[in-house]
Amino acid sequence: MKLLKNEELLKLNNKILNAYKDKDIVLGNGNVDSPIILIGEAPGAKEVEQRKPFVGQAGKYLNEFLTTLEIKREKVYITNIVKYRPTKESAKTGKLINRPPTEKEIEKFVDFLFAEICIIDPEVLVTLGNTPLKGIFQNDVKIGDVHGEMLQAEIDRKPYKVFPLYHPAAILYKRDLKDTYLKDLHILKGILSEMGVNI
């Protein structure tokens, strides 16, 4: 079973790498048999440097949250919807800085994300922030309206549970979100334990 998933993932990853030969691609990473998949927005500079999702500042917060859930990071699968770093030139410094992915970029990557989800086939998709939500629901659902609630999405004709969390970097900018985030994590922890999900 595991070998099959790894083989399928390898094929998919090669497709992504071939489609974006001109970009520094950061692929999904972690336990392919994880019952949850964490889906972020897009890699930042540190992620590109290490070719691994969530290893920079946002990753530090994510690790804290996983500790709150008593989940070891290596036990889960972590990915981003957009798999290269979207950048723009800073008007102040002229240096490349992060920017949110455009609708077009999200649209271009959504089929790859759906294929990745179907291979991992987890019990719960945990989305981080607005961008993966936008990709999965293909409408203007906003994280502020749905965080901490279990939603349903049909992916490749299969129903999946989706639990939206704020993006971990959001609390960098809005400290008062931390309590909300912790509350949502406890809701998720309760749901996972009710579902009998052991990680």
- Contact between 184 and ligand URA by CB under 6 A: the answer reads no
Q: Smaller CB distance to ligand URA: residue 27 or 185?
A: 27
Smallest distance from ligand URA to CB 170, Å: 10
| Degrees to nearest 5, angle at CA 163 with 146 and 64 | 105
Label residue 183 left, alpha or beta by phi (over 0 means left) and psi (-120 to 50 means alpha): alpha
Q: Of the candidates 47, 105, 116, 184, which one interacts with ligand URA according to CB under 6 A?
A: 47
At closest approach, how far in Å is the CB of 70 from ligand URA?
22
> Closest residue to ligand URA, Cβ-based?
40
Per CB under 6 A, does 28 bind ligand URA? no
Listed in order, strand segments (DSSP E) in the chain are: 29-30, 36-40, 77-80, 87-89, 96-98, 124-128, 151-155, 158-165
The CA–CA distances, whole Å, from 188 to 11, 82, 130, 141, 162 equal 32, 25, 18, 19, 11
Q: How far is the CB of 42 from ligand URA (least distance, A)?
A: 6
Question: Which residue type sits at 108?
Answer: K
Q: With binding defined as CB under 6 A, does residue 41 bind ligand URA?
A: yes
Q: Is 11 left (phi over 0), alpha (psi -120 to 50) or beta?
A: alpha
- Write the binding mask 60 to 99 for ligand URA: x where contact by CB under 6 A, - elsewhere: --------------------x-------------------
Buried b (16+ CB within 10 A) or exposed e, 115-145: bbbebbebebbbbbbbbbbbbbeeeebebee
Residue 186: CA atoms inside 13 Å, Cβ hemisphere, count? 6
> Which of 58, 188 has the CB closer to ligand URA?
58
> Which residue in 28, 30, 44, 122 binds ligand URA (CB under 6 A)?
44
Nearer to ligand URA, 78 or 115 (CB): 78
Please, what is the minimum distance in Å from the beta carbon of residue 3 to ligand URA?
27
- Contact flag: residue 54 with ligand URA (CB under 6 A): yes
Binding site for ligand URA (CB under 6 A): 40-44, 47, 53-54, 56, 58, 80, 169
